[in-house]
Amino acid sequence: MTPSRTAFAAILAKDLRSELRTLQSLPAMALFSVTTFIIFRFGLDRTALSGSLASGVLWATLLFAAVLGINRLFVAEREEGGFDAIRLAPIDRSVLFAAKVSALLVYLLALELVAVPIFAVFFLDDAAGLGPLVLVLLLTDLGLAATGTLISSMAVNSRARDLLVPLVLLPLAVPLMIAATGATEPLLSLGGPSYDRFGTWLMVLGLYDLIFGLVGYAVFDFLLED
Amino acid sequence: MYGKGLKPLSIATVAMLALSLSLVFFYAPLDGDQGFIQKIFYLHVPLAIVALIGFVVGGVFAIAHLRTDNRKWDAYSYVSIHLSVIFGVAVLITGSIWAKASWGHWWVWDEPTLVSFLIVFLLYATYYPFRYAIEDRDRQARYASVFAITAGAFVPLNFMAVRMAQSLVHPRTFATAEGGMPGEMMLTFLCSLVAMGLLWTTLVKFELTAKSASGQVKRLRRALDAPVSGGSSRIAPEVS
C-alpha cells in the first residue's frame, strides 16, 4: 500500500505539470476576469469602486472565473482513464480528493495573483486593503476548492456536465460569498481599510472550509465506486 | 407493503389538520400588532420547520443508503427531499403573502430567515436536474446521496452565515415565535406543527406506496414481455 503522502504528492505534481504544459484553464480564467471587470466598468458606469461595490464586483468575477476552472478539473481524468487508474492503484481513494482540492487551490491563487492587481489598477484608489485581503482570498479559495472539487467530480460523469457545476455550486457557495464580501467590504472602503467584524467573517470562512473539507473527504470514496 | 398503516395515518393527519385549523380560527387570540393577518403564521412556520427537518431527514436516509447500499434508503431520501421542496414552495408563497399583508412588500431582503430559506430551497431544487443528468442508475443513486448529505451539512451553515450578514443595527421587524408567546398561541402553534409533521409523513408514505406499486407493475409487465408504458424520459428511483 503506497503511503498517502507519496500518492498525494504524485497526483498533485501530475496535475500541476499537466496544467503548466497545456495551459488549458489558467489563461482562460485570467482573461475572463479581466473582461468581466471591463463589463462591470461599463455596466455600473463607474471608473472607481470602493466598499460594497468593489467587494461585490471582485467576488462575483472571481466566483465565475473559478467555475470555469472547476468545470475542467476532472475532465482529463474522465477522458484519459484517470479514474480507472486511481481505482486500481493501491492507495486510499480520498487522496485524489485532497490532491484535486490542492490543485484547484493553486489555480485559484494563481488566478488571483493576476486578477486582483488588475482589479486594483482598474478600480481602486488606494491599495492599503489588499494586504489583509490575501487572508480572505486564501480562506475563500479553500472553501471554493473543497466544494468545487466535490461537485465537479459528480458532474463530470453526467450528461449536462458544464451546466451542473454552476447550477449546484452557486447556492452552496453563497455562505462563502456572504463571508468573503462581508470581510472585503470594509477593507476596500473609501476612507481606508477598516476591520469591522473581520475576525468573525474569517471564522465563518474557516468553519465552512472545515465542514466541506471533511464532508468531501468522507464521501469521496463513494463517488469513485464503479 | 408500503401501504400498510397508510389509512390510519391519513385519518390521523386529517383529524390533526382539522383540529389545528379550528384552534387557529376559534381559539387562538388575535395578535396585538398584526391582527388577523398574523394567523398565517400558524401555517407558514410549521411548514417551514417541517420542510427543513425533511431536508435533514433526506440527508440521514442518504447516509443510510451509502452505508448499507440498500436502494430503499435512496428512495426514502428522494421522496423526503421531493416533498420538502414542495413544502418549501408553500413556505415561500405563504411567507410572501404574510410579508405583503404585514409589511407591504412581497419579498424583503432584510429578514435572514427568508433569505436563508430561499437559498436552501434553491439548492434542493437543483437536486432534480442534478439527479436526472446522471444516466447510470447505481451512480445516480450514489451521487444523489452524496448531494443530500452535502446539502444537509449546508443548511445550518447557511442559516448562520445569512443571519450574520444582517447589519447589527437593523431592528428585527417582527416578533418571532419564540419570545413571549401566550399559552393559547403556543398550543395552537404546536398543534399546527404536529399536523404539518403528520401531513409530511403521510405524503411521504403515499409517494413511496405509489412508487412501489408502479415499480411492481413495471416488473410484471417486463416479465410478461409486455410494452412498459408511461415512458418518462427521466429515470425516477424505483422502489422494490
- Where do the structural domains in chain B lie, given as residue ranges? 37-168+182-207
Torsion of CA B59, B63, B69, B71, to 10 degrees: -20
Torsion of CA B27, B28, B33, B34, to 10 degrees: -80
For residue B196, give the C-alpha cell. 404539518
Identify the domain containing residue A180 by its residue range.
4-224
Q: Check residues A56 and B109 and name the one with the higher pLDDT.
A: A56
Chain A interface, mutation test: which of B126, B136, B155, B169, most A Cβ atoms within 10 Å? B126
Check B134 against A154: CB less than 8 A apart: yes
B123 touches chain A (CB under 8 A): yes
H or E segment and range at residue A216: helix A198-224
d(CA B115, CA B122) in angstroms, rounded, equals 11
* CB contacts, 8 Å: B153 with chain A: 211-212, 215
Facing residue for B133 by CB, picked from A147, A158, A215: A158
User: Given this model, what pLDDT does residue B228 score?
Assistant: 65
ipTM: 0.82
Q: Check residues A196 and B205 and name the one with the higher pLDDT.
A: B205
Q: Look at residues B48, B54, B23 and name the one whose alpha carbon lies nearest to residue B202.
A: B54
* CB contacts, 8 Å: A215 with chain B: 149-150, 153
Q: How confident is the model at residue B200 (pLDDT cuts 50, 70, 90)?
A: very high
Check B119 against A174: CB less than 8 A apart: yes
DSSP state letters, chain B: -TTTTHHHHHHHHHHHHHHHHHIIIIISPPBTTTBGGGGGHHHHHHHHHHHHHHHHHHHHHHHHHHHH--HHHHHHHHHHHHHHHHHHHHHHHHHHHHHHHHHS-S--SS-HHHHHHHHHHHHHHTHHHHHHT--SHHHHHHHHHHHHHHHHHHHHHHHHHHHHHS-TTSPP-S--SSTT--HHHHHHHHHHHHHHHHHHHHHHHHHHHHHHHHHHHHHHHHHTT----S--SS-PPP--
Amino acid at A153: S
Enumerate residues 6+ apart whose C-beta is below 8 A from B213: B3
Check B119 against A179: CB less than 8 A apart: no
Structural domain total, chain A: 1
Check A168 against B161: CB less than 8 A apart: no
Model pTM above 0.80: yes
Whether A139 and A175 have beta carbons less than 8 Å apart is answered as no
Chain A interface, mutation test: which of B63, B127, B157, B233, most A Cβ atoms within 10 Å? B157
DSSP-based three-state secondary structure for A14: helix
User: Given this model, what pLDDT does residue B174 score?
Assistant: 41
Q: How far is A110 from chain B (nearest CA, A)?
A: 27
User: Is 80 exceeded by the pLDDT of residue B165?
Assistant: no
Closest residue in chain A to residue B147, using alpha carbons only: A151
Q: What integer best gives the mean pLDDT of chain B?
A: 84
Residues B1-11 have a mean pLDDT of 83
Percentage with pLDDT > 90 across chain B:
40
DSSP-based three-state secondary structure for A73: coil
d(CA B218, CA B212) in angstroms, rounded, equals 10
Closest residue in chain B to residue A215, using alpha carbons only: B150
User: Given this model, what pLDDT does residue A196 score?
Assistant: 80
User: Is 50 exceeded by the pLDDT of residue B172?
Assistant: no
Check A157 against B139: CB less than 8 A apart: yes
H or E segment and range at residue A171: helix A161-187
For residue B36, give the C-alpha cell. 388577523
User: Is 60 exceeded by the pLDDT of residue B177?
Assistant: no
Closest residue in chain A to residue B62, using alpha carbons only: A219
Facing residue for B134 by CB, picked from A158, A179, A225: A158
B5 touches chain A (CB under 8 A): no
* CB contacts, 8 Å: B145 with chain A: 222
Chain A interface with B: residues with Cβ < 8 Å: 147, 150, 154-155, 157-160, 163-164, 167-168, 171-172, 174-175, 178-179, 182, 200-201, 204, 207-208, 211-212, 215-216, 219, 222-223, 225
Running DSSP on this structure, what letter comes out for residue A157? T
Lowest mean pLDDT among A73-82, B182-191, B230-239: B230-239
* Each residue's pLDDT tens digit, B70-86: 989 999 999 999 999 99
Check B123 against A204: CB less than 8 A apart: no
Q: How far is B36 from chain A (nearest CA, A)?
A: 35
B126 touches chain A (CB under 8 A): yes
B228 touches chain A (CB under 8 A): no
Each residue's pLDDT, cut to its tens digit, for chain A (226 residues) gives 678 889 899 999 999 998 899 888 899 999 999 999 999 999 999 888 988 899 999 999 999 999 998 988 888 888 888 888 888 888 888 899 999 999 999 999 999 999 999 999 999 888 888 889 999 999 999 999 999 999 999 888 888 888 889 999 999 999 999 999 999 999 888 888 888 888 889 999 999 999 999 999 998 888 887 6
How many residues can be counted in chain A?
226
